[in-house]
């Protein structure tokens, strides 16, 4: 059956009338509307799936729980329609990575497989592209994993969080360790690399519990791990429990010690740190996240998905869509556009192509400063020449005097600034100083 915007004509019937470009019948894999001799800009794709089995106590991500499964098909139609629409602006002609996150994408079952298959028809993937699906233990089984791999997924990221049932209960997770072990077995049998997410600094979590979790993480077969200290986000059940005294507030010193223990255990286990909170076997670093951390371009589809595009690309889309573009201002020439669509699922399903809100335009100096800040989150650090070009040499010197960053030569002999061990523990101080720039120091 011919596809239209990556979705079948029947499935897209309610949406096609909304898409002027799609209505021209442009096939999504047929390339740009106008032929261009220029190489397309690499743009990674993020899909936000806003469904979960239930809401975790600490979660402030946008997702809805206990949703009528009929919504899954509507959502997949909307995402494929949206991705197909943006593909006509040459945005998805060289896609180095796709990340389908959430939420809990695997809750959608067959519809997730249809989503992956549809995206494969909608975008032009770069050869060897990384295609990740985020999953949770309660919705991961061997058949689902096999079908996703067949559809083109070549990496999974699973929200394990802890191998201790009492910690999982405090976090309000809807799975237990037995389900986690079954899900990990399914991932191992697929022979596809996977990452696990862990949380430390949970009230009531003991050091032996955390060490046992790290041990099991290393033994799980994961090739990548993300480790975050628990944060109490406004408006979450965890915040209410802390404010009402039902749960003690997480202790940041305990969390810092647990982060240090994670660094040791994961490094010894063959996954050295490559980012402040991320560890990987060499060659298994998360390429999609590296796009975020190195100032690359990415397009988010789905409600609450974030995007960042070089400004000329954004301007072309805005012009095509009839969105207002700020009048040129010689003092603030935008270099990049960062935007989200903060809409509910219901609003998104009604019309997936809303104008970005909020929209942030970054000037070249803003972007350079942000690139240095994000680069210092990586163990590889940032080229000294890049720091100087951003006008941040003095800021980094000040941080070096406090022992938070250091200058050294990489394997090619190039000078790079990198965060020290003390700097990792005071990361907010380092990143804040860089973001504030010379005027802030
Ligand atoms: S599974 Fe993830 S997105 Fe869903 S509620 Fe829990 S933390 Fe939030």
pLDDT at 437: 82
The pLDDT score that the predictor gives to residue 441 is 57
Amino acid 129: pLDDT: 98
In degrees to the nearest 10, what's the CA dihedral of 104, 109, 113, 114? -100
If you average pLDDT over residues 11-24, what whole number do you get? Answer: 30
pLDDT band at 328 (very low <50, low <70, confident <90, very high): low
What is the residue extent of each domain of the chain? 12-290, 376-440
What is the model's pLDDT at position 333? 86
3-state secondary structure at position 291? helix
Q: Could you tell me which residues are beta bridge partners of residue 241?
A: none
pLDDT of residue 314: 94
pLDDT at 344 over 80: yes
Output the six-digit token pair for 190.
Answer: 């697929």
**Measured from the CB, is residue 247 less than 6 Å from ligand 1?**
no
What is the CA(90)–ligand 1 centre distance, in A? 33
Q: Are 51 and 71 in contact, with CB atoms under 8 Å apart?
A: yes
Confidence check: pLDDT of 14 > 70: no
Q: What is the mean pLDDT of residues 237-262?
A: 95
CB of 55 sitting under 6 A from ligand 1: yes
Q: Where residue 440 falls among pLDDT bands split at 50, 70, 90?
A: low
User: Which range among 7-11, 193-197, 363-367 has the greatest average pLDDT?
Assistant: 193-197
Q: Over the chain, what is the mean pLDDT?
A: 89
Cα(203)–Cα(185) distance, rounded to whole angstroms? 29
**Closest ligand 1 atom to Cα of 172:** 6
Q: Do β-strands 95-102 and 405-409 pair in parallel, antiparallel, or remain unpaired? A: unpaired
Query: For 361-417, what is each residue's pLDDT tens digit?
Result: 999 999 999 999 999 999 999 999 999 999 999 999 999 999 999 999 999 999 999
Q: Which sign does the torsion angle of CA 240, 213, 104, 88 carry?
A: positive
Fold of 12-290: pyruvate-formate lyase- activating enzyme (3.80.30)
Report the C-alpha gap between 287 and 283 in whole angstroms: 10
Residue nearest to atom 3 of ligand 1 (CA): 103
Q: Shortest CA distance to 334 belongs to which of 354, 356, 357, 309?
A: 309
Query: What pLDDT shows up at residue 329?
Result: 76
Pocket test for ligand 1, best of 63, 66, 169 (most atoms within 8 A of CB): 63
Q: Report d(CA 363, CA 356) in Å as an integer.
A: 18
CA angle 435, 428, 134 (to 5 degrees): 100
Predicted local distance difference test score (pLDDT) of residue 22: 30
**Tokens found for residue 225:** 């791990």
Closest CA to 78 of 6, 21, 24, 147: 6
Of all protein residues, the one whose alpha carbon is nearest to atom 6 of ligand 1 is 56
Strands 194-200 and 155-161: parallel
Closest of 363, 294, 370 to residue 335, by C-alpha: 363
Quick: pLDDT tens for 104-159. 999 999 999 999 999 999 999 999 999 999 999 999 999 999 999 999 999 999 99
pLDDT in tens, 211-236: 999 999 999 999 999 999 999 999 99
Is the distance from the beta carbon of residue 56 to the nearest atom of ligand 1 less than 6 Å? Answer: yes
Task: Give yes or no for residue 20 having a pLDDT over 80.
Answer: no
Q: How far is the CA of 264 from the centre of ligand 1 (A)?
A: 27
pLDDT of residue 125: 96
Annotate 127-145 with b (16+ C-beta within 10 A) or e (fewer). Answer: eebbbbbbbbbbbbeeebb
Assess whether pLDDT exceeds 80 at residue 29.
no
> pLDDT exceeding 70 applies to what percent of the chain?
90
Helices (H), 201-338: 207-219, 237-243, 252-268, 287-293, 311-321
- In short, whether 59's Cβ falls inside 6 Å of ligand 1 is yes
Position 367 scores a pLDDT of 94
Residue-wise pLDDT for 60-103, tens only, equals 999 999 899 999 999 999 999 999 999 989 899 999 999 999 99
């Amino acid at each position: 059956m011919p596809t239209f915007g990556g979705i079948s004509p029947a499935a897209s019937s309610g949406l096609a009338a909304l898409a002027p470009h799609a209505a021209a019948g442009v096939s999504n894999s047929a390339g740009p509307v106008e032929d261009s001799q220029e190489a397309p800009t690499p743009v990674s794709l993020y899909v936000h799936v806003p469904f979960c089995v239930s809401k975790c106590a600490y979660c402030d991500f946008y997702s809805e729980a206990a949703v009528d499964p009929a919504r899954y098909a509507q959502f997949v139609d909307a995402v494929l329609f949206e991705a197909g629409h943006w593909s006509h602006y040459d945005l998805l002609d060289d896609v180095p990575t796709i990340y389908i996150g959430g939420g809990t994408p695997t809750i959608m079952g067959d519809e997730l497989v249809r989503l992956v298959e549809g995206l494969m028809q909608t975008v032009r993937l770069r050869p060897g592209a990384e295609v990740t699906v985020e999953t949770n233990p309660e919705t991961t089984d061997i058949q689902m994993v096999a079908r996703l791999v067949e559809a083109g997924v070549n990496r999974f990221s699973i929200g394990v969080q802890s191998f201790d049932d009492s910690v999982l209960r405090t976090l309000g997770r809807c799975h237990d360790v037995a389900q986690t072990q079954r899900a990990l077995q399914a991932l191992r049998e697929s022979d596809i690399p996977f990452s696990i997410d862990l949380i430390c600094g949970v009230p009531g979590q003991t050091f032996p519990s955390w060490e046992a979790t790290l041990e099991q993480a290393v033994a799980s077969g994961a090739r990548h791990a993300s480790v975050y200290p628990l944060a109490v986000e406004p408006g979450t059940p965890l915040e209410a429990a802390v404010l009402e005294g039902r749960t003690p507030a997480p202790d940041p010193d305990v969390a810092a010690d647990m982060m240090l223990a994670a660094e040791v255990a994961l490094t010894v286990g063959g996954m050295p740190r490559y980012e402040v909170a991320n560890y990987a076997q060499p060659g298994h670093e998360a390429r999609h996240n590296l796009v975020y951390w190195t100032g690359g371009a990415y397009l988010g589809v789905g409600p609450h998905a974030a995007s960042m595009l070089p400004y000329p690309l954004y301007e072309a889309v805005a012009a095509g869509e009839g969105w207002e573009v700020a009048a040129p201002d010689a003092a603030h020439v935008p270099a990049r556009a960062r935007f989200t669509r903060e809409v509910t699922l219901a609003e998104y399903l009604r019309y997936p192509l809303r104008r970005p809100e909020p929209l942030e335009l970054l000037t070249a100096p803003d972007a350079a400063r942000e690139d240095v800040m994000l680069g210092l989150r990586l163990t590889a650090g940032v080229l000294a020449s890049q720091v100087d070009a951003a006008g941040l040499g003095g800021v980094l010197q000040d941080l070096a005097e406090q022992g938070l960053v250091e200058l050294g030569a990489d394997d090619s002999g190039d000078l790079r600034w990198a965060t020290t061990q003390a700097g990792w523990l005071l990361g907010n101080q380092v990143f804040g100083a860089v973001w504030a720039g010379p005027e802030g120091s």
